[in-house]
Structure 1
């Protein structure tokens, strides 16, 4: 049987790419001829090229919910992206396009629909992003992480499956993680993840609080591209990285508490790993509010604490982390009892049904 072809798309942040990577690693290169269409400068280009998968960059415009002259310019960028994506898809002739959203996915999905190619999309957040709101009308199948999200999509083609969690994230070694970081086992390890692009206020507040925090925790700070502060390189018990890839499973295996944004893919992974979370979601000023809803849902289920960014300072950070540490066993027990699913197997099975046709 000759290999079937599949095109993945999605980008703009790691949250739109890592689930695709999880699926790519699971469906296997032996059975599928795998291709990726992404933006010219997004993080997806760097992450996907590491996998030695053919990568096709296209022009992409930002989708805005507010009136701005750039919307006019970006309409032409999106149109150009549609033409580029259509040309690429005509050459590849895939049996399926799979999208994880982000601005770059819209031209790919429009182009795929025009060519009669089946389209699967996955929405991670409680409410759909603008890209998936547009894409849903073209999609063949729609999958969601949250039960609450289903109401935003056509019922006849939508299925709730949870988030596709990378298998490799679940098999890290705590001992290797501590050795990698040069940490001991006498203080808990706090991992701070502001997302692949970093989080300015989180980074600043953590660094302003280091004197107190390093008395209580050993800290791993994933601070985003260009955000490493070399003046803090010698602070004992504090390690900072722009972004961690291959070492992340071991670091997370060693982690006792995590401070994170409210991106769905990340918090579902921490749930699977049973790591108590302090979630500091992107504010309404910075986003459409999806991370706030994700954080609220997880807090209500007893998986995490939430601290609004507007209320973030050294005192509130210390107090929330203290509460999380004091009650960490309760959080871990609640997460252990969770019935939230790992959508990876479902997606792999659904994709492989296409291969068998």
Structure 2
């Protein structure tokens, strides 16, 4: 193999829309940089989404395109015209970027931003690699799998959607910080929490979950205060006035719209409650924490429910459905908190599902494509 310190490939990563797509792309980019220091990496994302702020924080360049699509955009003639206009404009923008940047490979991690990016790459005969995080693949990855050199998937269940000869189960690439969590003592000190009191981490996805948030507001917080349980609560875009709501200022609670450094929160938590996003599941499988999953009931192709079923089948997590969240979630958390044997069982089974070498395995496939 060539001396990787002497090559400088140009790589485009198309991702965005959700934290799952963004942090998957970043994990791949950081993995590439660690193997090929002189690589030149450019992200393509949507101008109106979180990737435009998040990706530059990690030292990478990003080109924004005007695309805020999705299947729901087709519900009316007007929105259909808007989407069509955005797509045409996106194709023109990406065609210009690819012509000027001249990448050696284009990587798609899913989402609507990947569609025009992979399409222009295919039309210009640029090698494509696809990474699919979910058990039920998105439509963009399904379409372009026939043109990709390699498809890296997280779950065996996804194999049936892709060409067998070029599909490999790698798992999901996760943020490097997950492998080097601080001690619980250090994490609690950093967060201002008490190490000897139980701690719940509640995650609603990168945009937050109104259903989960409502459970905490409508009685959940009061129960936690009564039981002296601490809560790290990521509320996302949820509109609450902390200053005017006295209970939210209780010292047992940390409330954030977005969690910048998830490592401290993972380390401090005794139980994690979250949606069934693929990246979050992959990260928690690696760290091994008792886990309660609440699949998003209206996720595309019902992929969150399918993700959750994999863990439920392996007895690696407890599942609470959206329809029963109000009546069941808080009691399920409290019961799990008090059941030492159940927590040990969930942790053991969860760790058995982890794929800690996913990033390295994906980078190997990228190198084979670049160097061939």
| TM-score, scaled to structure 2 | 0.90
Deviation at 1:216, TM superposition (A): 4.8
Q: Equivalents in 1 of 2:312, 2:43: separation in Å?
A: 35
In structure 1, the residue matched to 2:48 is: 41
In structure 1, the residue matched to 2:15 is: 10
**Would you say 1:324 and 2:363 are equivalent positions?**
no
Aligned-residue RMSD, C-alpha: 1.8
Q: Secondary structure at the match of 1:312?
A: helix
In structure 2, the residue matched to 1:54 is: 61
Deviation at 1:67, TM superposition (A): 4.6
Q: Which one has the bigger helix percentage?
A: 2
**Matched-pair contact (CA < 8 Å) for 1:257–1:276:** yes
Q: Equivalents in 2 of 1:24, 1:147: separation in Å?
A: 24
Deviation at 1:228, TM superposition (A): 5.2
Q: Secondary structure at the match of 1:288?
A: helix
**Would you say 1:344 and 2:359 are equivalent positions?**
yes
Find the partner of 1:135 among 144, 161, 165: 144
Greater shift in the superposed pair: 75-84 or 337-346: 337-346
**Matched-pair contact (CA < 8 Å) for 1:60–1:107:** no
Is there any run of 5+ residues in structure 1 with no aligned partner, and where?
A: none
Deviation at 1:137, TM superposition (A): 3.1
Q: Secondary structure at the match of 1:289?
A: helix
Q: Deviations over 1:185-218 (max 9, x none)?
A: 2222110000110101111111221011232521
In structure 1, the residue matched to 2:169 is: 160
Q: Equivalents in 2 of 1:145, 1:189: separation in Å?
A: 29
Q: Deviations over 1:207-254 (max 9, x none)?
A: 221011232521000111454541244212110111112x31122111
In structure 1, the residue matched to 2:26 is: 21
In structure 2, the residue matched to 1:353 is: 368
The verdict on how the C-alpha distance between 1:167 and 1:296 changes in structure 2, with shifts beyond 3 A counting, is: same
Q: Equivalents in 2 of 1:22, 1:180: separation in Å?
A: 25
Q: Equivalents in 2 of 1:64, 1:338: separation in Å?
A: 32
Q: Equivalents in 1 of 2:126, 2:166: separation in Å?
A: 16
Q: What is the number of equivalent residue pairs in this alignment?
A: 354
Deviation at 1:350, TM superposition (A): 1.6
Q: Equivalents in 1 of 2:354, 2:215: separation in Å?
A: 34
Pairwise mapping of residues 161-310 of structure 1 onto structure 2 (< 5 A)?
Answer: 161-173=170-182, 174-208=184-218, 209-214=220-225, 215-225=227-237, 227=239, 229-230=241-242, 231=245, 232-245=247-260, 247-284=261-298, 287-310=300-323
Q: Equivalents in 2 of 1:219, 1:142: separation in Å?
A: 39
